Amino acid sequence: MSDDWHSVTLKIPFASEKHALIAKQTIQVDPELQPHAVKRTIEVRGNFLVATFSTLTVRLARLASNSFLENVDLVVRTLEQFSEEAEKPPSS
């Protein structure tokens, strides 16, 4: 990996470490469309989801971060809608 690549780090807080882990596991399944030009790491630190993108071009840095943030948004909205129901004990 060259030193002259671009890099972007995104740090997103979640309500809990559990939710951050759900986001990580959900998003990391899909590989980057151009793995030779975009290197991605996703990890959880406390309540934070931290993603780093190292890309060959500025354009790829924009695309990778944009797509990642869109995915995070979708996961966050899904968690928002369903996490309360999930916390409730199932009534038999």
Partner 1 sequence: MPGKTRHSPLKNADRDYLALGLEGSANKFGAGIMKHSKDGSTTVLSNIRHTYITPPGEGFQPRDTALHHREWALKVIDECLVKSGVSMHEIDCICFTKGPGMGAPLQSVALIARTLSLLFNRPLVGVNHCVGHIEMGREITGAQNPVVLYVSGGNTQVIAYSRQCYRIFGETLDIAVGNCLDRFARIIDLSNDPSPGYNIEQEAKKGKRLVSLPYATKGMDISLSGILSAVEAHTLDKKFRSKGASDNSLEEDIITPQDLCFSLQETVFAMLVEITERAMAHIGSKEVLMVGGVGSNERLQQMMAIMAQERQGQVFAMDERFCIDNGIMIAQAGLLSYRMGYETPLAKTTCTQRFRTDEVHVAWRA
Q: For residue 87, what is the enclosing H or E element?
A: helix 58-87
Q: Least distance (Å) from partner 1 to the CB of residue 4?
A: 31
Query: Please, which residue, 7 or 70, has the CB nearer to partner 1?
Result: 70
Q: Least distance (Å) from partner 1 to the CB of residue 84?
A: 10
Query: Please, which residue, 4 or 30, has the CB nearer to partner 1?
Result: 30
Query: Which backbone phi and psi does 90 adopt, to 5 degrees?
Result: -65, 130
Site residues for partner 1 per CB under 8 A? 22-23, 25-27, 29-31, 70-71, 73-75, 77-79, 81-83, 85-86, 88, 90-91
Q: Least distance (Å) from partner 1 to the CB of residue 70?
A: 8
Q: Least distance (Å) from partner 1 to the CB of residue 27?
A: 7
- In the 3-class helix/strand/coil scheme, how is 53-81 assigned residue by residue? EEECCHHHHHHHHHHHHHHHHHHHHHHHH
| Amino acid, single-letter form, for residue 76 | V
Q: Work out whether strand 48-55 and strand 6-13 pair parallel, antiparallel, or are unpaired.
A: antiparallel
